[in-house]
Amino acid sequence: MPADAELLERHRKVLPDWLALYYDEPIEIVHASGRHVTDSRGRTYLDFFAGILTNAIGYGVAEISDAVRGQLDTGVVHTSTLYLIRKQVELAEQIAELSGIPDAKVFFTNSGTEANETALMLATQHRRSNQVLALRNSYHGRAFATIGITGNRGWSASSLSPLKVSYVHGGYRYRGPFSGYTDADYIAACVEDLRDVLQTTTAGDVAAMIVEPIQGVGGFNVPPDGMLAAFKEVLDEHGILLISDEVQTGWGRTGEHFWGIDAHGVTPDAMTFAKGLGNGLAIGGVIARPELMDCLRANSISTFGGNPMATAGAKATLDYLLDHDLQGNAAKQGDRVIGGLRELADRYDVIGDVRGKGLMIGVELVEPGAGHEPSPPAAGIVLEQTRERGLLVGKGGLHGNVVRLAPPMTLTDEETEDALEILGAAIATAQEELS
């Protein structure tokens, strides 16, 4: 039995059934360099999902390894956050400055889930209300409060949340009642829906609205620029806080802007982050206005949040991102990938929609023909076919029919062309098999 098959057997025995694994024959990655990873059978792949957007700048980057190794060499892997940690303070200063939130404060966690749980806890405490708003088709994490506000049944593992949640349109336009609306009409319809939801499903004392500026798990759905500013105007009328979940959209990945919400010309009350900042190391956090961050009137702590190893790696990652203008590269390569995919969409009607910004690109696959019915089998074929040809991609969307592309932001021109060629071949196979 091959080593990965044996490992899979052991994995299935001791790890939860609900821990999602990709591929008919899941792979074990044992080596990585640049934008390429190698599995235990010696097969090398171009990574176009970056470990769910975690490897923002790719693998084996000397600056990051040196920063982490330097910290390791001091012997202080971690004591606790009860003592001062220089890199934690430096990183917080830099992130607060980048956030655009006046006098921002930063709290570090170990994941995006924890970041959102903390932001929701702060908002509900500050506003003395456990009512929140979320977008339909949203995903904000896997813990008790966040799972309960998931707006996507495929990821909604429990509805026994401590929060009361109402859902608003504005996440996903390709299907649903506002499909085909112009940007202006869509914004107007979603704002009307927000007003209606506030009026008909809440007592008015809502704590916060949490939004992903581009939905990630939900299929890389891009709302029209300015929509969140239009929402904020309504929220401000009621004193409702706006939390921007930047777990996927932060750090320049959307190309045009450093934060996803910047496309809307509005400053949120809080932002949450994770994934790309650690370039694979576990780090997340909340950025918030000081009165919101400091509303807790009791001691609190995260034993590992902001630890020296994670913050040393994250600081080096952030410096690298900024020094090498990876946001600019995300915009450039993203435009080329989207352009190439739109050319494929002209040839293959299994592609229903190509959307995205920067290096956050979704390809919604549909049944070939006129109906545009979602086709999860097409996404399955593309996933397997790309892997066989040496490319790793992601999957998502409300119906599991969206192929998600989010490579490291250091992607080169040549790698972009390689990926487009493989995607073309995989999509052609899906078209042929399903026609």
In the complex, the residues that contact ligand PLP under the rule CB under 6 A are 52, 111-113, 116, 139-142, 212, 216-217, 245, 247-248, 274, 284
If the CB atoms of residues 268 and 340 are measured against ligand PLP, the closer one turns out to be: 268
Shortest Cβ distance from residue 343 to ligand PLP (Å)?
Answer: 29
Neighbour order of strands in the sheet with 105-109? 105-109, 284-288, 270-273, 241-245, 208-211, 131-135, 164-168
Shortest Cβ distance from residue 113 to ligand PLP (Å)?
Answer: 3
Number of neighbouring beta carbons within 10 Å of residue 171? 25
The neighbouring-strand residues paired with 286 are 107, 272
Shortest Cβ distance from residue 120 to ligand PLP (Å)?
Answer: 11
Type of residue numbered 169: H
Residue with tokens 């919604």: 364
Shortest Cβ distance from residue 83 to ligand PLP (Å)?
Answer: 26
Shortest Cβ distance from residue 53 to ligand PLP (Å)?
Answer: 8
C-alpha–C-alpha distance, residues 262 and 307, integer Å: 29
Using Cβ positions, the residue closest to ligand PLP within the complex turns out to be 112
CA atoms within 13 A on the CB side of 300: 13
Shortest Cβ distance from residue 115 to ligand PLP (Å)?
Answer: 7
Shortest Cβ distance from residue 326 to ligand PLP (Å)?
Answer: 19
Q: DSSP characters for 227-243? A: HHHHHHHHHHHHT-EEE
Residue with tokens 């640049």: 34
If the CB atoms of residues 67 and 217 are measured against ligand PLP, the closer one turns out to be: 217
Residue with tokens 């904020």: 232
If the CB atoms of residues 172 and 385 are measured against ligand PLP, the closer one turns out to be: 172
Nearest Cα neighbor of 28 from 45, 49, 48 is: 45
C-alpha–C-alpha distance, residues 362 and 341, integer Å: 10
If the CB atoms of residues 140 and 387 are measured against ligand PLP, the closer one turns out to be: 140
If the CB atoms of residues 244 and 333 are measured against ligand PLP, the closer one turns out to be: 244
If the CB atoms of residues 49 and 344 are measured against ligand PLP, the closer one turns out to be: 49
What token pair was written down for 407? 């490579």
Number of neighbouring beta carbons within 10 Å of residue 126? 21
If the CB atoms of residues 116 and 401 are measured against ligand PLP, the closer one turns out to be: 116
